[in-house]
Structure 1
Amino acid sequence: MSDLLPLLRTMQEGDLSLVLAWRNHPDVRQFMYSQHEISPVEHARWFASASQDPQRALLIYQIDGTPQGFVSFHRVRASAIAEWGFYLAPDAQRGTGHALGRAALDYAFTTLNLHKVCAEALGFNERSRRFHERLGFQQEGILRDHYFDGSRYHAVHCFGLLANEWCRGASES
């Protein structure tokens, strides 16, 4: 993937149908807190609100001009701490997730000047938990039986990555 040119750009209204298709794909939806299929009207309402919120950054990850994923940062508690969320196009090439993660975290710590990025992963989402650890996140806790999917309770794993840890990790790679 090193010969491809990745890019993060602000999500636009023209991206709505593509991002909705990704979000509603069963491979993505199964790992979300809200697992119902989102309607175009619900999605448009979310975008109208979130895109005007100065505490949020909604981004599209592209490789050579082709959208490959969605990333969001939402500043919480203090202006320099944000929660992040992301997902890939279901047909994204292997390795795209790691490249998206590195680009997004570079953006978070350099462009947004964040001190800390927080993440949550459902306990059964082992892939997401390993992904965060590979990017340098530290597990900060486990919220037991914190999410109910309609039939079962699941743990939620909480992760955090500080700017100085990212800088240290980025220089070692």
Structure 2
Amino acid sequence: MSKVSPLLRPLQEDDLPLVLAWRNHDGVRSYMYNQHEISPAEHARWFANASQDAKRHLLIYQPTGKPQGFVSFHQLRDSAVAEWGFYLAPDAEKGTGSALGRAALDYAFGSLKLHKVCAEALSFNERSRRFHEKLGFQQEGVLRDHYFDGSRYHAVYCFGLLANEWSGGASES
């Protein structure tokens, strides 16, 4: 199992039960576009397709030998622009999210040579919006009433971070 950075490694099939448990945890699932509980079969189909797509980079954040989070980059079209997504183990220690973010963005701009990383956050996910701003992302727009959760519409905040703006998370306090 090769590492892609000192803190990240490729997602493996053996990781799927753990990553599925994280993804289905109420504290993660409630902030996703797709909020239904994902079945093991659905998760396996997703992995089979995504792991064969050269534009998708599926990674486990493992700073101390124990997986602590999942991050993915999906390159758009044939460009150096990618969307990212991530979530943590529900029992991850405070500060793990910032560390995952810095490691993942170092990988994106260093190893993947991306020009831009894009992100979206649902309007009710204040924590994600602050997280992106803390890492140096710029808010690039708001998609009004863009996401319907089954009972009401929510705005989606769009963020972007350019390679020449990435400072390794120096804006952290």
Q: Shorter-chain TM-score: which interval?
A: over 0.9
- Aligned pairs (5 A) from 1:129-144: 129-144=129-144
Given that residues 137 and 161 in structure 2 are in contact (C-alpha distance below 8 angstroms), is that contact kept between their aligned partners in structure 1? Answer: yes
Say yes or no: does 1:102 pair with 2:102: yes
* Partner Cα distance (2:58, 2:25) in 1: 19
- Counterpart for residue 160 of structure 1: 160
Paired AA for residue 68 in structure 2: Q
> TM-score, structure 1 length as denominator?
0.93
- Aligned pairs (5 A) from 1:103-118: 103-118=103-118
* Partner Cα distance (2:80, 2:141) in 1: 20
* Partner Cα distance (2:30, 2:98) in 1: 20
- Partner of 2:85: helix, strand, or coil? strand
- Counterpart for residue 80 of structure 1: 80
Higher mean alpha-carbon deviation, 70-79 vs 36-45, is at 70-79
Q: CA deviation at 1:153?
A: 0.2
* Partner Cα distance (2:136, 2:44) in 1: 34
- Aligned pairs (5 A) from 1:1-173: 7-166=7-166, 169-170=167-168, 172=170
- Partner of 1:49: helix, strand, or coil? helix
Paired AA for residue 85 in structure 1: G
* Partner Cα distance (1:27, 1:88) in 2: 10
Count matched residues.
Answer: 166
Q: CA deviation at 1:82?
A: 0.1
Q: CA deviation at 1:170?
A: 2.8
* Partner Cα distance (1:171, 1:27) in 2: 25
- Aligned-residue RMSD, C-alpha: 1.2
Residues 60 and 172 (structure 1 numbering): CA distance in 2 closer, same or farther, change over 3 Å?
Answer: closer
- Partner of 1:67: helix, strand, or coil? coil
Residues 171 and 12 (structure 1 numbering): CA distance in 2 closer, same or farther, change over 3 Å?
Answer: closer
* Partner Cα distance (1:108, 1:170) in 2: 11
* Partner Cα distance (2:118, 2:58) in 1: 16
Residues 38 and 53 (structure 1 numbering): CA distance in 2 closer, same or farther, change over 3 Å?
Answer: same
